[in-house]
Amino acid sequence: MKRRVFAYPYIVWMVLFIVVPMLFIFFYAVNVRGEWTLTKAWATLTDAGKWNVLWISIVMAFKTTALCLLLGYPIAYILSKMKPSVAGFISVLFFVPMWMNFVLRTYAWQAILEYFLPNVMESGARVLVRILPQEFVTRFWPELIGYRCASLTGTEGAVLMVLVYNFLPFMVMPLYNTLAKLDKSLLEAARDLGANSFTTFFRVILPLSVPGIVSGITMVFIPAITAFTVPALIGNGKYNLYGNEIELAFKTLSGQGDFAVGSTLSLILLLCVLVSTVIMNYFDKDQKEGGQMW
Amino acid sequence: MKKLFALLLCGMLLLGAIACTPKEDEEAADYSFADGDQYEYIGGELNVMSWGEYIDPELIPLFEAETGVHVNYIEIPSNEEMMIKLRGSEQTFDICIPSDYCIEQMIREDMLLELDQSKIPNVRNLSDTIMEISDKFDPGHKYSVPYMWGTVGILYNTKLVDDPVDSWGILWNEKYAGQIWMYDSVRDTIGITLKYLGYDLNTHSEEAVAAARDKLIEQAPLRKGFGADNMRSSMVNGKAALAVMYSGDAFACMDENEDLDYAVPMEGSNVWFDNAVILKNSKNVEAAHAFINFLNDANIAARNTEFIFYSTPNQGALERLDAYFTENETYNPPQDVLDRCEVFHDLGSFTDVFNAAWSEIKASK
C-alpha cells in the first residue's frame, strides 16, 4: 500500500499529458466551433485521398522496417560475435550519432542530399572527363561532358534512406541484446550434432532471436508510420506522409477555427498505432525474455 | 621541437583571427528620423507578430530607446498560423503584419482596432498609387497601414532556362522536370494556376478550382517540391531552374547570384500587401500607434527595406534609395505589371473548397 504512493506522480503525469490530450483530440473531432457535429469527421473518414496517404505511409513504414532488419541483423550478429570490449567500442561509435538531435541530423541530410552529393558527383564527372582518354568519353560515355546533377531531395528514395538511417540503431540495439545473451552451449550442441553453420543459423540462432526481431520491428515500425520530420525536410513538401497530412489539416483549417479534420486524422493514426502494438504484443507474448531493454 | 610546433600553431591561429576580422569600410547606416519626430516616453510592452527576417533588427532597439517600450517580436511562417496563434493563445498581441485577404477576414470578424490617424502622421509619406491598390481590401485604410508589398512571379536561373519566361506555362514544361519549385501556400499556388488557366484570382467557382487542382496534380512529377524559405538557398546555389517566389525574396536571391532573374508572367499574377494592424484587445494602444508611425518614417522605412529587400510603399523612403533598388523592376515593378495583377480577397466559406483542393494537390505524387 505504502509503495503505491510513489506511483502517484506518474499517474498524475499520465492523466494530464496523455489521457487529457487524447480526450481533447476526441472532443475537437466532433465539436466544430462549439457545435456538436459528425459531418466533418464523417467527411474526413470517407475521403479516399486521406486513406491513400495512410496507405502510402504504411507501405513506407514496411519498407523502412524491412530495410532496417536486413541491414541491422548482420550488424547486430557481427557485433555479438566480437570480444565484448571491441563490441562495446564499436557499438558506441554506432550509437554516438543518436546523441545528437534527431531534427539536426535530418537537416544535415537535407544539406548532403541537396548540395553536397550533387556537387561531389559533378566534380567527379569533371575529373573523369579530364583523366579519361577523350575518344573513350565521346564514344562510350558522352553524358559525362557537362554533367549536371539535380539535387536528390524530394524523392521517395531519399525519404526512405533517411528514415532507415534514423531508425537503424533502434533495430540494432534490441537485436544485439538478444544475440549477445544467446546461450553458447546451444550452438556447441548444434555443432556436436552435426549441423553446419548454415543450419545452425537458421535452425537455432534465428528462432532464438525472434524476441529481439519483434521488439526491433516495434521500435522501428511505429515511429516510421508516424514519421513527420523526415518527409517534411527531405520530401520537399512533395512526399507527404500521414503525419504531414495531419499538420496540413491543422495549418490550413484551424485558422478558420476548425480542428475536426486534423483531430479525426489523428484518431485514425492513433488507432493504427494501437493495432500494430497489439499485433506485436501477440507475437511477443510467449517470449518474455530478452530484447526488452526498450 | 614540440614548442616550436605550438608556436607555429599559435601564429597561424592569430593570422586566421586577423584575416577574419570584418572590414570596417562600410559606413554606419543613418538611423536618424527624416522629419525630426520626437517620441515621448511610453513604457510597457509591445507584442508584435510578423514574418521571420522581416524587419531590420537594428530598428527594434532604436524604437525601444526612443520610447522605453519593450518589444517582443514573435515570428510566424504563414497567415494561417497567425490566425491560429491569435485565436488559440492566451497571450495578447498588439501589432500584427498580416496579408491582404487575412486583414479582410480580421475586419469581418471584428478583431481589429480602428486606427487613430492623428497618432500616425507619417502615413502621409506613403505612395498614392500603392494606397489606391491597398484600398481594395481595407477601404479608407481605417484598420491597416501598408508595411511591405510585392508581386508573385517566377525566379529563374538564366544559365539553366533557355526559353523565355513570360508565361506560367513554363512551370509545366517537361524540359525542367525536377527543377521547378512551387510555393508552399494554398492561395498563391492555386491562385497562379487559376491565372494561368484564365480564371479570376478570387474565383468562387468550384469548376475553376477543380481545373486548377487537376492542372497542379498533372504537374506533380515535374516539380521539385513545395518550398518556402528553403527555396532561396536552393536557387542561389543553382540547384533548381525555376521557382515561384515573392518579389522581395526573389530580389534578395538576385542580389546574391547574378544568373538569377525574375518575371511576372503575362497572364497576370497577385499583387500582395502586408499591412500593420492593431488588434482590438491590444494592451498598449499608445505604443502600437507609435511603432507604426516609427516604421513609416521615411528614413527608417528606407533602412528597413534596404535590409530585407522587400518593396516599401513609402514614397519618402523610395526617394532616399539607390538606383540599385528603384530602377530594379523586381523591386519597383512598372505600371504594366501592376495592371495585370490582382489583390487577394477573403474567400469566406469558399476557403474550404480551396483547402480541399490543396490537400489533394499535396498528396499527389
The two beta strands, B144-157 and B269-278, are antiparallel
Q: Does domain B151-270+347-363 have CATH number 3.40.190.10?
A: yes
The set of cell numbers assigned to B279 is 488588434
Per-residue pLDDT of A113-133, as tens digits, reads 988 888 898 888 888 888 888
Instruction: Give the one of A154, A235, A255 whose C-beta lies nearest to B80's C-beta.
Output: A255
Is residue B160 over pLDDT 60?
yes
Mutation for A interface: B213, B229, B355, most A CBs within 10 A: B355
Q: Report pLDDT for A254.
A: 65
Distance from CA of A250 to the nearest CA of B (A): 9
* Residue bearing cell 516616453: B41
Confidence of residue B13 (pLDDT cuts 50, 70, 90): low
* Residue bearing cell 521539385: B224
pTM across the whole model: 0.80
Give domain status of residue A209, yes or no: yes
- Using an 8 Å CB-CB cutoff, list chain B residues near A151: 224, 234, 239-240
Burial of B22 (C-beta count, 10 Å sphere; 0-12/13-18/19+) = exposed
Instruction: Tell me whether residues A150 and B234 touch, CB distance under 8 A.
Output: no
Distance from CA of B81 to the nearest CA of A (A): 6
Q: What angle do CA B301, B307, B313 make, to 5 degrees?
A: 35
Give domain status of residue A11, yes or no: no
Give domain status of residue A37, yes or no: no
Q: Report pLDDT for A294.
A: 39
The set of cell numbers assigned to A166 is 534514423
Percent of residues, chain A, with pLDDT higher than 90: 31
Give domain status of residue A38, yes or no: no
Instruction: Tell me whether residues A150 and B178 touch, CB distance under 8 A.
Output: yes
Distance from CA of A129 to the nearest CA of B (A): 21
Distance from CA of B52 to the nearest CA of A (A): 17
- For residues B105 and B84, the answer to whether their CB atoms sit within 8 Å is no
Per-residue pLDDT of A171-212, as tens digits, reads 998 999 899 888 888 888 888 888 888 888 888 888 889 889
Confidence of residue A290 (pLDDT cuts 50, 70, 90): very low
Burial of A191 (C-beta count, 10 Å sphere; 0-12/13-18/19+) = middle
Mutation for A interface: B78, B81, B84, most A CBs within 10 A: B84
Find the mean pLDDT for residues B159-163: 91
Domain ranges within chain B, ordered by starting residue: 45-149+272-341, 151-270+347-363
Give domain status of residue A35, yes or no: no
CA dihedral B277, B282, B287, B288 (to 10 degrees): 0
- Using an 8 Å CB-CB cutoff, list chain B residues near A254: 80, 83-84, 87-88
Distance from CA of A28 to the nearest CA of B (A): 13
Average pLDDT, chain B: 87
Length of chain A: 294
- For residues B323 and B302, the answer to whether their CB atoms sit within 8 Å is no
Per-residue pLDDT of A64-95, as tens digits, reads 999 999 999 999 999 988 888 888 888 888 88
Q: Report pLDDT for A23.
A: 93
- Using an 8 Å CB-CB cutoff, list chain B residues near A234: none
Instruction: Give the one of B80, B179, B239 whose C-beta lies nearest to A252's C-beta.
Output: B80
Find the mean pLDDT for residues A9-26: 91
User: Which of B190, B271, B237, B31 is CA-nearest to residue A150?
Assistant: B237
Find the mean pLDDT for residues B144-157: 94
Burial of A159 (C-beta count, 10 Å sphere; 0-12/13-18/19+) = buried
- For residues A218 and A282, the answer to whether their CB atoms sit within 8 Å is no
Distance of CA A95 to the CA centre of its chain: 16
Count of structural domains within chain A: 1
Instruction: Provide the residue range defining the domain that includes A212.
Output: 48-284
DSSP class per residue in A153-221: TTSHHHHHHHHHHHHHHHHHHHHHHHHHTS-HHHHHHHHHTT--HHHIIIIIIHHHTHHHHHHHHHHHH
DSSP 8-state assignment for residue A131: H
User: Which of A273, A269, A259 is CA-nearest to residue A29?
Assistant: A259
Q: Find the CATH number of the domain harbouring A238.
A: 1.10.3720.10
Amino acid at A69: L
Which range has the top average pLDDT, A140-154, B126-140, B209-223? B209-223
Q: Please indicate whether residue B2 or residue B104 has the higher confidence score (pLDDT).
A: B104
Instruction: Tell me whether residues A251 and B80 touch, CB distance under 8 A.
Output: yes
Distance from CA of B226 to the nearest CA of A (A): 5
Is residue A12 over pLDDT 60?
yes
Give domain status of residue A91, yes or no: yes
Measured distance CA(B189)–CA(A239) in Å, rounded: 17
Measured distance CA(A209)–CA(A203) in Å, rounded: 11
Instruction: Tell me whether residues A49 and B351 touch, CB distance under 8 A.
Output: no
Give domain status of residue A94, yes or no: yes
* Residue bearing cell 573523369: A128
Identify the helix (H) or strand (E) that includes residue A70: helix A48-81
Confidence of residue B260 (pLDDT cuts 50, 70, 90): very high
* Euclidean distance between the first and the last CA atom of chain B, given in angstroms as a whole number: 63
Instruction: Tell me whether residues B225 and A236 touch, CB distance under 8 A.
Output: yes
Which range has the top average pLDDT, A283-287, B90-94, B115-119? B115-119
Measured distance CA(B198)–CA(A260) in Å, rounded: 34
Q: Report pLDDT for A203.
A: 87
Is residue A265 over pLDDT 90?
yes
Measured distance CA(B149)–CA(B172) in Å, rounded: 27
Give domain status of residue A70, yes or no: yes
Q: Report pLDDT for A252.
A: 75
Return the exposure string of A32-51: e unless at least 16 CB atoms fall within 10 Å of the residue's CB, then b. beeeeeeebbeebeebeebe
- Using an 8 Å CB-CB cutoff, list chain B residues near A236: 224-227, 230
Q: Report pLDDT for B359.
A: 84
SS3 of A233-244: HHCCCCCCCHHH
Q: Report pLDDT for B166.
A: 92
Pick the CATH number of B45-149+272-341 from 3.90.550.10, 3.40.50.1820, 3.40.50.720, 3.40.190.10: 3.40.190.10
- Using an 8 Å CB-CB cutoff, list chain A residues near B190: none
Q: What are phi and psi of B75, to 5 degrees?
A: -95, 140
Length of chain B: 365
- Using an 8 Å CB-CB cutoff, list chain A residues near B223: 238
